[in-house]
């Protein structure tokens, strides 16, 4: 690759109405900081454009000068892809427009918005679209990667509600893509990540959702409880989506002090249906054991996202090693082994997270989008948090051993949970014909691999 040309900060400031932040400017360090810790990347410049035309100008500048380009939507990249080290950081946070058509049940939302922003705006009209489980995640990253969250079994992945998108491609064009216009690019950005351009806004199908029964249920960490929750959740109506975490109990105000630091089963539940029906569906899960804490109740859907902005949240930048994969069976014997490994783990903070899938996710054909794992039963993450950088090797070995114990039914990975895990894991995220098709789309729309700070798909050769 050629040596990058010199950037003129003054020229950028005169050409753009958005923010241009140089390394010596106040706010530079805050602007380059990610949600996850362990990264100290220093971009040559941080640019926050105000519209798609300015995004296109920055993309063209990066292509013409040879500067590495990173794209930041919410800054939650576990691999640090949101912030270039020495290149141009394209921060979308000023793209915050949302247009809601209540009658048509659709919404155009720009990708500087977070999942919490869009969820709150839609809830004012009794509407919702499913994102993930964290309100501060940018909608650009979570949507292009797939989107697994609290409404997935009811309405599918986030990408299953994408009707159209505005995309800035590597040649500086601003395209509106959908099933009829640039259909291969439209297919690729639904699950293929940020490989094919900068999505500046999405058009979503939205759903009527006046409220949910949801919240956190904290139960003892026994094999009967964990296996019971997974069994009940998998058999429940599509309206119920859960995220199960087996982990040391955090020192939250509602957790008894004597439980702090001991293994618990933290179940995040969301029943997207009438409250009376939800209480009936959740009754068998509640009956598995006397809850340590039960915060599940009828709520407005935005309350599924806890408040994370301000205060200590801005200073919380966790560093961990993790592995994401799928499992098709998690029987009681397997659960016992998971609990044993968690009980004897070297890290004070560690977690096995299990998400029962199925429902609406599985009713979409594997080749309809670039997310190709529609029939998998469980998505799993095993993570171990670092005390110091010196503990990394020990924690990586533990994560690899536990993941190898649990994974079954064949390889696979969810791209939004991948870190810097190497090319083999990228192929597991995009198996078989999905990979071949993505490389062809890449060759057409980004033959020079300008968009490479991501879970990268290189363009097909020839």
Residue by residue, what is the 3-state secondary structure of 369-413? CCCCCCCCCEEEEEEEECCCHHHHHHHHHHHHHHHHHHCCCCCCC
State the DSSP H helix or E strand holding residue 88, giving kind and residue range, or none if neither: strand 88-91
CATH code assigned to 212-417:
3.40.462.20
Place 36 in a pLDDT band, splitting at 50, 70 and 90.
confident
- Residue 102: per-residue pLDDT: 98
pTM of the predicted protein model = 0.95
Average pLDDT over residues 155-177: 98
Percent of the chain with pLDDT over 70: 96
Query: 254-289 pLDDT, tens per residue?
Result: 999 999 999 999 999 999 999 999 999 999 999 999
The model's confidence at residue 242, banded by pLDDT at 50, 70 and 90, is very high
Classify 15 as helix, strand or coil: helix
pLDDT confidence of residue 27: 93
- Write out the DSSP string of 250-309: P--TTS-GGGTTSEEEEEEEEE-S-HHHHHHHHHHHHTTS--SEE--EEE-GGGGS---S
- Predicted confidence at residue 135, as pLDDT, reads 95
Give domain limits for the chain. Answer: 12-91, 98-208, 212-417
Dihedral sign for Cα atoms in the order 172, 177, 183, 186: positive
pLDDT above 90: residue 74: no
Least confident of 183-197, 312-326, 407-421, 448-462: 312-326
Class of domain 12-91 (CATH, top level): alpha beta
- In sequence order, which residues have a C-beta less than 8 Å from that of residue 238 and are 6 or more positions away? 153, 154, 359, 360
Q: Per 3-state DSSP, what percentage of the chain is helix, strand, and coil (rounded to 5)?
A: 35, 25, 45
Among residues 113, 115, 155, the alpha carbon closest in space to that of 131 is found at 115
Residue 4 confidence (pLDDT) above 80: no
Percent of the chain with pLDDT over 90: 89
Residue 419 scores a pLDDT above 90 = no
Q: Would you say 36 and 386 are in contact if contact means Cβ atoms under 8 Å apart?
A: no
pLDDT for residue 387 = 84
Q: Residue 314's pLDDT is what?
A: 54
* CA-based radius of gyration for the chain: 22
pLDDT at residue 56 above 80? yes
Residue 312 has pLDDT above 60, yes or no: no
Q: What is the mean pLDDT of the chain?
A: 94
Q: Is 76's pLDDT higher than 90? A: no
Q: Report pLDDT for 215.
A: 97
pLDDT > 70? residue 1: no
User: 104 pLDDT exceeds 80?
Assistant: yes
pLDDT beyond 50 at 311: no
Q: Which residues contact 124 (CB under 8 A, 6 or more apart)?
A: none
Per-residue pLDDT tens digits for 437-447: 999 999 999 99
Contacts of 312 (CB under 8 A, 6+ apart): none
Output the furthest CA–CA distance in the chain (Å, rounded).
Answer: 65
CATH assignment of 98-208? Answer: 3.30.465.10
Q: pLDDT value at position 315?
A: 61
Does the pLDDT at position 101 exceed 90?
yes
């Amino acid at each position: 690759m050629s040596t990058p040309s010199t950037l003129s900060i003054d020229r950028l400031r005169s050409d753009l109405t958005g923010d241009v932040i140089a390394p010596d400017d106040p706010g530079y360090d805050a602007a380059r900081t990610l949600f996850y810790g362990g990264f100290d990347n220093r971009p040559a410049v941080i640019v926050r454009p105000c519209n798609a035309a300015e995004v296109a100008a920055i993309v063209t500048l990066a292509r013409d000068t040879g500067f590495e380009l990173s794209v930041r939507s919410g800054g939650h990249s576990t691999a640090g892809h949101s912030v270039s080290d020495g290149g141009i950081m394209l921060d979308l946070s000023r793209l915050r427009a949302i247009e809601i058509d209540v009658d048509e049940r659709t919404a155009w939302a720009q990708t500087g918005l977070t999942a919490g922003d869009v969820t709150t705006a839609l809830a004012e009209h009794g509407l919702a679209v499913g994102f993930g489980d964290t309100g501060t995640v940018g909608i650009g990253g979570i949507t292009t990667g797939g989107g697994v969250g609290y409404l997935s079994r009811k309405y599918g992945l986030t990408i299953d509600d994408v009707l159209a998108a505005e995309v800035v491609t590597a040649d500086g064009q601003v395209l509106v893509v959908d099933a009829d216009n640039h259909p291969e690019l439209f297919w690729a950005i639904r699950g293929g990540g940020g490989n094919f351009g900068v999505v500046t806004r999405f058009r979503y199908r939205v759903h009527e959702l006046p409220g949910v029964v949801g919240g956190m249920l904290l139960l003892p960490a026994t094999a009967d409880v964990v296996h019971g929750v997974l069994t009940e959740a998998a058999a429940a109506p599509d309206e119920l989506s859960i995220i199960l975490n087996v982990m040391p109990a955090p020192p939250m105000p509602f957790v008894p002090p004597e439980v702090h630091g001991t293994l618990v089963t933290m179940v995040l539940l969301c029943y997207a249906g009438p409250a009376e029906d939800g209480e009936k569906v959740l009754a068998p899960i509640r009956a598995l054991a006397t809850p340590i804490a039960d915060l599940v109740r009828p709520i407005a859907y935005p309350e599924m996202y806890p408040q994370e902005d301000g205060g200590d949240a801005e200073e919380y930048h966790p560093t961990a090693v993790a592995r994401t994969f799928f499992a098709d069976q998690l029987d009681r014997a397997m659960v016992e082994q998971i609990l044993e490994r968690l009980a004897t783990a070297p890290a004070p903070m560690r977690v096995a997270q299990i998400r029962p899938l199925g429902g609406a996710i599985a009713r979409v054909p594997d080749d309809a989008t670039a997310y190709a794992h529609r029939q998998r039963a469980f998505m799993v993450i095993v993570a171990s948090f670092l005390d110091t950088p010196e503990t990394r090797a020990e924690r990586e070995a533990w994560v690899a051993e536990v993941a190898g114990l649990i994974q079954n039914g064949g390889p696979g990975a969810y791209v939004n949970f991948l870190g810097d895990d190497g090319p083999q894991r990228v192929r597991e995220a995009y198996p078989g014909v999905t990979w071949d098709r993505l490389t062809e789309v890449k060759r057409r729309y980004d033959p020079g691999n300008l968009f490479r700070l991501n879970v990268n798909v290189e363009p097909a050769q020839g």
